[in-house]
Homo-oligomer: A and B are copies of this chain.
């Protein structure tokens, strides 16, 4: 089978590809294990090469339907659609967000439809579809009234994925991702970028700015578990989803204060002094509309993986990204 990953040069795309290469199989459209023959990584930027012949990297703009068409063929059985204009950027550049987050996604679904063999499409959505007057704990049945263009655009594509699935054009799966922490690398234009920076930078001996108050509650998921979730969501039998293909992924509900306390327990009190508190209304306006706690009953019933606690998530980051070094204090 052939697997396509959009946003394939990104942090999640590369991790997912590495994990798929390691596994070597995914459940095919017949629910049986199928050997992965090729993984196509599509992105607007050139990622580092993979030392594996099964990987093909294609650089281009998925907003261009002709380009996108060239990355998908009759052998493309599974697509992980991760590419997106992130929250901060989609808010700053409305048209770009619409072009990539909506139009490119719709082109992707149309191309899949034209294949005729009902490929699996795993769509990375976000808890940013929620917003407005939310209950303290968001349920699977809570309505989505996003308060950002990013959340709006994700919500719209969720609807498309569900209807294309219902019509039999694709076999879609919508995973609403929590805020990922601890993301490796550098800060990006996501409004939630700080949720990784405040852990990652201090561990690297750098200063980090926290733009929201310490009592802000976030819904968090580790990089390791989100990759497992994407694969799990791909492999689940279609029927298990019920009347819609949306799943709120399990997360950890922590205030920033609790995140920082966990960092202190892992790395000591001196580390957390590297966090500077500097309110940023532009970031707050987006982040404060997202839910900080969800009851993810559907995901639990389906058996999605979950993180145990945030301290372990930080230790995982230290192990995977810092080579386990413990000289940060």
Taking Cβ atoms with an 8 Å cutoff, the residues of A that contact B are 94, 131-133, 135, 140-147, 149, 152, 155-156, 159-160, 162-163, 166-167, 242-244, 246
A152–B163 CB distance below 8 A: yes
User: Complex: how many Å from CA A159 to CA B135?
Assistant: 20
Known: A132-B242, A152-B162, A156-B159. 8 other contacts (CB 8 A): A133-B242, A143-B144, A145-B243, A147-B166, A149-B163, A149-B167, A155-B159, A156-B156
Q: Which of B135, B143, B159 contacts A142 (CB 8 A)?
A: B143
Chain B residues with CB below 8 A from A144, complex form: 143-144
Chain B residues with CB below 8 A from A167, complex form: 94, 149
User: Complex: how many Å from CA A166 to CA B145?
Assistant: 11
29 A–B contacts from the bound complex (CB under 8 Å): A131-B243, A132-B242, A132-B243, A133-B141, A133-B242, A133-B243, A135-B141, A140-B143, A141-B143, A142-B143, A143-B144, A144-B144, A145-B162, A145-B243, A145-B244, A145-B246, A146-B162, A146-B163, A147-B166, A147-B243, A149-B167, A152-B159, A152-B160, A152-B162, A155-B159, A156-B156, A156-B159, A156-B160, A159-B159
Q: Which of B143, B146, B156, B242 contacts A143 (CB 8 A)?
A: B143
Chain B residues with CB below 8 A from A141, complex form: 133, 135, 142-143
Name, among A132, A140, A143, the residue most crowded by chain B CB atoms within 10 Å (CB to CB).
Answer: A143
Chain B residues with CB below 8 A from A162, complex form: 145-146, 152
CB closest chain-B residue, reference A154: B159
Q: A103 CB to closest chain B CB, in angstroms?
A: 10
Q: A138 CB to closest chain B CB, in angstroms?
A: 10
7 A-B pairs closest in CB distance? A132-B243, A145-B244, A152-B163, A143-B143, A152-B159, A156-B156, A141-B143
Chain B residues with CB below 8 A from A163, complex form: 146, 149, 152
Chain B residues with CB below 8 A from A133, complex form: 141, 242-243
CB closest chain-B residue, reference A143: B143
Name, among A133, A135, A159, A160, the residue most crowded by chain B CB atoms within 10 Å (CB to CB).
Answer: A159
User: Complex: how many Å from CA A143 to CA B159?
Assistant: 12
Chain B residues with CB below 8 A from A149, complex form: 163, 167
CB closest chain-B residue, reference A244: B145
User: Complex: how many Å from CA A244 to CA B149?
Assistant: 13
CB closest chain-B residue, reference A98: B106
User: Complex: how many Å from CA A160 to CA B242?
Assistant: 27
CB closest chain-B residue, reference A289: B243
User: Complex: how many Å from CA A147 to CA B143?
Assistant: 15
Chain B residues with CB below 8 A from A131, complex form: 243
CB closest chain-B residue, reference A138: B143
